[in-house]
Amino acid sequence: MATKGFNAFEMAQKQFDTVADLLELDQPTRDLLRQPLREYHFSIPVRMDDNSVRVFRGFRCQHNDARGPCKGGIRFHPQETIDTVRALSMWMTWKCAVVDIPLGGGKGGVICDPHDLSPREQERLCRGWIRAIAQDIGHLRDVPAPDVMTSPQHMLWMLDEFETIHGAKYPGFITGKPVGMGGSLGRTEATGYSLIYTVREALKELGIKIETTVASVQGFGNVAQYAIELYTRLGGKVIAVACWDQADQASYTYRKKRGVSLEELRAITDRFGGIDKAKAEALEYERLPGDAWIEQDVDILLPCALENQVNAETVKKIAPRVKVMAEGANGPTTPEADVVIKSRGIFVIPDFLANAGGVTCSYFEQVQCNMNYFWTKEEVLTRLDDKMTSAFKAVSELARTRKLYMRDAAYVISVSRVANACKDRGWV
């Protein structure tokens, strides 16, 4: 979970300011890109199953749409804040730009815990979120998608409500839908696979065979599971997985030094990525504290859960052996931690590059919906690999030629593209 007092938006702005200085951006462009173009706050009254009414707080931020309609997920989380949504919308702008897809950055959220809501209550909440903002989103303006604790089913309820309000079919309005209802094959795997595509390329550059590497993973949701799947298929070994335990309201790290089994862990995991601790221990997994994942003696760290996990305190625990850190989560590493990581020469694949496979495949889904023709899974994943590999190489080459930290190089490419689009439109 995010550390108390941590502000993701302040961190996102700090990262932007560093690159704005590198690029010598003019003040109007800095002022424009430091804040969302638009943001929405709304109340969502929901009739509960016991006939009472609860009012939930919902948000949507549209950070920048100079390069195309905004794009970004919707989170259901009890600790959601507008500043987290602002930060994520900004990171989405850079994410779309770094992989060069014609979309801008958006993000949404609702303060709630889906664990405590029945399916009917979740459906009413989804429809209420759409009703609150239906006039300000759409396939030509702002395209939502799933995020933390939201699913293809949630997206389908939202699509149905949007189409009911507007009286037409808009399959490209929302992405992450179920396959067969406008969803794309390969979307489920996309973010985790994209993470490993970039790890594969980084290891090639470092002259390291993936078969000789060991990794530790934070998180066991969709991103982490598919990252582990592809990484182990390519020959790597994962020895530790950390995840949130809903019952204890705490996180734990599950370790098996001879290598974790994805199939074993999936079989004892709930739909929100929580591992059953009693069953894990019965399968000979050691249960360690939640932040133990970061101190493992491994070659690769894969933070794949929430923001602020590699910070000024936890970064001190990273083992000397670690050579690569690839960020499956958004904003897992603070600027203070970056200073330490940079000084140690750890090769970082920054979040908005490493996990851009999700939005890239969402873009593919939108393209398929708009032309009403769908690709095979192999076509989707091949196009995704091509896009991610190309983006990684561009960032890595810039980092080498200008002697930049990888995060800064990725930012230079993405911020330049967005700033130029704003200038070309005559906004600044």
In this structure, the answer to whether residues 164 and 47 fall within a common structural domain is yes
Looking at the domain assignment, is residue 96 inside a domain? Answer: yes
Positive or negative, the CA dihedral 351, 355, 356, 359 is negative
In this structure, the answer to whether residues 128 and 217 fall within a common structural domain is no
CA 24 to CA 43: how far, in whole Å?
40
Which of 176, 207, 239 represents a domain boundary (last residue)? 176
In this structure, the answer to whether residues 219 and 340 fall within a common structural domain is yes
In this structure, the answer to whether residues 197 and 78 fall within a common structural domain is no
How many distinct structural domains can be found in the chain?
2
Identify the pLDDT of residue 48.
98
Q: Which residues contact 247 (CB under 8 A, 6 or more apart)?
A: none
Q: Which helix (H) or strand (E) holds 320?
A: none
Token pair belonging to 245: 């335990």
Token pair belonging to 121: 């209550």
Looking at the domain assignment, is residue 333 inside a domain? Answer: yes
How confident is the prediction along the chain (428 residues), in pLDDT tens digits per residue? 445 678 999 999 999 999 999 999 999 999 999 999 999 999 999 999 999 999 999 999 999 999 999 999 999 999 999 999 999 999 999 999 999 999 999 999 999 999 999 999 999 999 999 999 999 999 999 999 998 889 999 999 999 999 999 999 999 999 999 999 999 999 999 999 999 999 999 999 999 999 999 999 999 988 999 999 999 999 999 999 999 887 788 899 999 999 999 999 999 988 767 898 889 999 999 999 999 999 999 999 999 988 889 999 999 999 999 999 999 998 899 999 999 999 999 999 999 999 999 999 999 999 999 999 999 999 999 999 999 999 999 999 999 999 999 999 999 999 999 999 999 999 99
Q: Which helix (H) or strand (E) holds 338?
A: helix 335-344
The answer to whether residues 254 and 260 touch, using CB atoms and an 8 Å cutoff, is yes
- One-letter amino acid at 299 equals D
Please identify which residue in the block is written with the tokens 């939502």.
Answer: 144
CATH number for position 52: 3.40.50.10860
Looking at the domain assignment, is residue 54 inside a domain? Answer: yes
Q: Which residues contact 266 (CB under 8 A, 6 or more apart)?
A: 225
Looking at the domain assignment, is residue 3 inside a domain? Answer: no
Which of 354, 385, 412 represents a domain boundary (last residue)? 354
In this structure, the answer to whether residues 84 and 112 fall within a common structural domain is yes
Looking at the domain assignment, is residue 213 inside a domain? Answer: yes
Looking at the domain assignment, is residue 201 inside a domain? Answer: yes
In this structure, the answer to whether residues 196 and 338 fall within a common structural domain is yes
In this structure, the answer to whether residues 64 and 146 fall within a common structural domain is yes
- One-letter amino acid at 210 equals I
Identify the pLDDT of residue 161.
98
Looking at the domain assignment, is residue 376 inside a domain? Answer: no
Looking at the domain assignment, is residue 303 inside a domain? Answer: yes
Catalytic residue among 107, 177, 256, 323: 107
Is 107 assigned a catalytic role?
yes
Which of 151, 176, 201 represents a domain boundary (last residue)? 176
Helix 119-133 crosses helix 152-166 at what angle (to 10 degrees)?
Answer: 50
In this structure, the answer to whether residues 201 and 172 fall within a common structural domain is no
Token pair belonging to 277: 């601790």
In this structure, the answer to whether residues 157 and 46 fall within a common structural domain is yes
Burial, 22: exposed, middle or buried (Cβ in 10 Å; 0-12, 13-18, 19+)?
middle
For residue 51, give its domain range. Answer: 36-176
State the pairing for strand pair 286-289/300-303: unpaired
CA 98 to CA 137: how far, in whole Å?
23
In this structure, the answer to whether residues 316 and 213 fall within a common structural domain is yes
Q: Which helix (H) or strand (E) holds 287?
A: strand 286-289
CATH number for position 339: 3.40.50.720
In this structure, the answer to whether residues 98 and 243 fall within a common structural domain is no
Burial, 350: exposed, middle or buried (Cβ in 10 Å; 0-12, 13-18, 19+)?
buried
In this structure, the answer to whether residues 203 and 283 fall within a common structural domain is yes
